A and B are shown apart, each in its own frame.
Chain A
Amino acid sequence: MNKLEAIKALTGLLAPEDLLVCCNGMIGRELYTVGERPANFYMIGSMGLGLSIALGLALARPGRRVIALDGDGNVLMGMNALASVGSERPANLYHVVLDNQTHASTGGQRTISGDVRLEAVASAVGYRATHRADTLDHFQAALRDALAQAGPVMVLGVVEGGTVKGIGRVKETPAELTARFSAEARR
């Protein structure tokens, strides 16, 4: 499965009011290129903290669906946050992981997600459900299932490595991103 297709599959299933917190690295740039929307938050530093941000937001706004879009490198760096999600169990939190087994933005070095099934970790710490999908069809079906049920749910999509030419960088300043995302989240 191609990562851009996976990102489009996700954003295609979201309502305008759904809040999406995206991890740093290539995924954020790819989301900005193919799935930009005002209710997206792009984290450019603080690797590993995207899920923690999404958890805090989910607890603060229980009436809104909050999606954490993560990569395998981010999940592995912030794996402790999965335990917090399993402990707090917010029903409005959905954790979507695109796993290419590499640190794409630093040159494609391998991560250890080939040895560690991240959805098994999520299951062990108390997520309500987890899905692992190797094809775009399965990934779409898993996302549909997940978003129709109570969270926390992890949907892990196994995606191809490598980077695509023509991927832009987020143009808004960090302060602008805070302002627009807060406005969407408080609506």
Chain B
Amino acid sequence: MSHGASGPSRAPEMLAALKGAGFDFFCGVPCSLLKGLVSLLEKDHDARYVSATREDSALGMAAGAFFGGKRPMVLMQNSGLGVSVNALASLHTLYEIPVLLLISWRGEDRSDAPEHWMMGEIMLPVLDQMKIPHRLLTGVAPGEGLAAQVAWAAAQLDATQKPVALIVPGGVLE
């Protein structure tokens, strides 16, 4: 079952890991699989979460924030990856603008709603085709586990100056 909480949300651990790695500009479009993290971000005045209307617009804001010296993260459902392909291709990758993508994985299997089936199936190949490095936040050990994944992403961003993605399955950040 890809859509449904299992165990306590690790959203507080994730937010601490993101802040610890220097992320200081957050925007995006929510997903039920990310609702725990979005809820924390909305209450956090330091984090200054911007609720965007489309995922590509969130990516545009992230690019502007990067120019202004911020380290941006954009969260989205994987449906939003479809909306974002041109921005990632002709803005962030082309201009070498590092942005962390936190993408939920709806449609990980066919037990999820049918509108998520195709994107659920093609998301990882799409990221591969777009040369966006990615890791899946599944089976990540409690404690330092999420911080290690975020640290990997931050190191990739610094090394490549291009987008990097962390994929969030159900039950992690709800």
List residues of chain A with CB under 8 Å of any chain B CB: 19, 21, 41, 43-61, 78, 80-81, 83-84, 87-88, 174-175, 177-178, 181-182, 185-186
22 contacts between A and B (CB under 8 A): A45-B86, A45-B89, A46-B60, A46-B87, A48-B56, A49-B59, A52-B52, A52-B61, A52-B64, A56-B25, A56-B50, A56-B60, A56-B64, A56-B67, A57-B68, A59-B65, A60-B70, A84-B52, A84-B53, A87-B51, A88-B50, A181-B67
Chain A residue numbers with a CB within 8 Å of B50 are 56, 59, 84, 88
B98 to chain A, nearest CB (A): 10
B131 contacts A by Cβ under 8 Å: no
Q: Point out the residues of chain B lying under 8 angstroms from A56, CB to CB.
A: 25, 27, 50, 60-68, 72
**Chain A neighbourhood of B53, CB < 8 A:** 80-81, 83-84
B96: contacting residue among A57, A81, A178, A186, CB under 8 A: A178
Please, which residues of chain B bring their CB within 8 A of the CB of A21?
64
Q: Which residues of A are found within 8 Å of B63, using beta-carbon distances?
A: 49, 52-53, 56
Are B90 and A45 within 8 A (Cβ)? yes
Asked if B159 is at the interface (CB within 8 A of a chain A CB), the reply is no
Q: 1/0 per position for B67-109, CB-CB distance to A under 8 A?
A: 1111010000000000000110111001111000000000000
B57 at the interface (CB under 8 A from A): yes
In the complex, the 4 A-B pairs of residues with the closest C-beta atoms, listed nearest first:
A45-B90, A52-B60, A56-B64, A60-B68
Closest to A47 in B: B86
- Cross-interface CB contact of A54 among B52, B62, B64, B96, cutoff 8 Å: B64
Kindly state the separation between the CA atoms of A60 and B69 in the bound complex, as whole angstroms. 7
A186 and B56 CA atoms in complex are apart in Å by 24
Shortest CB distance B121–A (Å)? 26
A53 CA to B62 CA in the complex, in Å? 7
Task: Provide the residues of chain B in CB contact with A44, threshold 8 Å.
Answer: 90, 94
State whether B91 touches A46 (Cβ < 8 A).
yes
Q: Which of A53, A83, A87 contacts B60 (CB 8 A)?
A: A53
CB A175 to nearest CB in B, in angstroms, measures 5
Which chain B residues lie closer than 8 Å to A174 at the CB level?
Answer: 94-96
